[in-house]
């Protein structure tokens, strides 16, 4: 690609979920690169960042972008971070896309249990049990074997200290009162078989409160929507542009 052309492209900011690596966007990056400079964000290690800190870091990474040019994508917990970024820097954003996201994690018992059990993931046996459960879930969701292997490889690189901190943020955050202030066109992608987040419920809830929002439902997909065959963020973005949204 011509360097000047690349520099002239707008930015696509891809914000990860609890894995924190940005690598789970791998199936989406090449198609997005036809129209954007793609930045798959990775959270830093440690446990001191607040949600505002994370939004601020993304703000620094996107400083200098043309007004109304940035495509912001947030997956799962990354949707919370994406919302915080958009609320803080709305003038930079062209479109917000939230994938199996939520403004507030309603399954309070589950998140408390996840935080309680998270330290056990330092044990090989606990990681193996969790891995076997996830493998079965991904297979039922139609995720191909090569992608399931890629998922396993990525998950093995997660910084556990940062992961536990992000679980704490999930338990603490509630952006429901601020949804009405999300002043950018928003697309909410939701898997109907999501076992981690009640994604259809959350997408419809947010769409009813975000002024310029619409929902795209994938009834047979689960939480691994980014790895689901046929799901393309680039295609969704292009379609919204054609519709003038």
Domain count, the chain: 1
Region for 235 from its dihedrals, namely left if φ exceeds 0, alpha if ψ lies in -120 to 50, beta otherwise: alpha
Range(s) of the domain holding residue 114: 3-242
Residue 7, both tokens: 């520099």
pLDDT at 7: 66
pLDDT at 170: 96
Confidence of residue 129 (pLDDT cuts 50, 70, 90): confident
Question: Is the per-residue pLDDT at 163 higher than 90?
Answer: yes
- Please give the average per-residue pLDDT across 40-56, as a whole number: 87
Residue 191, both tokens: 């898997």
Average predicted confidence (pLDDT) for the chain: 93
Percentage with pLDDT > 70 across the chain: 95
Side-by-side strand order, sheet with 93-99: 37-40, 11-15, 70-75, 93-99, 186-191, 213-218
Provide the b/e sequence for 194-231 (b: ≥16 CB within 10 Å). Answer: bebbbbbebbebbbeebeebebeebeebbbbbbbbeeb
For every residue of the chain, DSSP letters joined together read: --HHHHHHSPEEEEE--TT-SSGGGHHHHHHHTTTSEEEE--PPSSS---HHHHHHHHHHHTTTPPTT-EEEEEETHHHHHHHHHHHH-GGGEEEEEEES--SS---HHHHHHHHHHGGGGGSHHHHHHHHHHHHHHHHHTT--HHHHHHHHHHHTT--HHHHHHHHHHHHH---GGGGGG--S-EEEEEETT-SSS-HHHHHHHHHTTSTTEEEEEETT--S-GGGSTT--HHHHHHHHHHTT-
Question: Is the per-residue pLDDT at 225 higher than 50?
Answer: yes
pTM, rounded to two decimals: 0.92
Do residues 188 and 103 make contact, with C-beta atoms less than 8 angstroms apart?
no
pLDDT tens digits along 66-90: 999 999 999 999 999 999 999 999 9
Cα separation, 204 vs 101, in Å, equals: 11
pLDDT at 119: 87
Question: Is the per-residue pLDDT at 211 higher than 90?
Answer: yes
CATH of the domain at 12: 3.40.50.1820
């Amino acid at each position: 690609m011509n360097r000047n052309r690349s520099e002239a492209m707008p930015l696509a900011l891809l914000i990860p979920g609890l894995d924190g690596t940005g690598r789970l966007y791998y199936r989406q990056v090449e198609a997005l690169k036809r129209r954007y400079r793609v930045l798959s964000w990775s959270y830093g290690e440690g446990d001191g960042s607040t949600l505002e800190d994370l939004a601020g870091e993304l703000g620094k990474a996107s400083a200098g972008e043309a007004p109304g040019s940035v495509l912001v994508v947030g997956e799962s917990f990354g949707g919370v971070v994406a919302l915080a970024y958009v609320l803080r820097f709305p003038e930079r954003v062209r479109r917000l896309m939230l994938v199996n996201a939520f403004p507030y994690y309603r399954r309070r018992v589950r998140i408390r249990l996840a935080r309680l059990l998270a330290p056990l993931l330092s044990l090989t046996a606990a990681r193996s049990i969790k891995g076997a459960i996830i493998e079965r879930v991904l297979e039922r969701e139609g995720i191909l074997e090569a992608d399931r292997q890629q998922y396993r490889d990525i998950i093995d690189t997660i910084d556990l200290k940062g992961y536990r901190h992000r679980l704490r943020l999930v338990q603490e955050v509630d952006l429901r009162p601020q949804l009405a202030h999300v002043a950018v066109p928003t697309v909410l992608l939701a898997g109907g078989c999501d076992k981690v987040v009640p994604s259809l419920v959350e997408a419809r809830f947010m769409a009813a409160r975000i002024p310029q929002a619409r929902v795209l439902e994938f009834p047979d997909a689960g939480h691994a929507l980014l790895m689901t065959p046929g799901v393309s963020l680039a295609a969704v973005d292009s379609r919204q542009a054609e519709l003038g949204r």
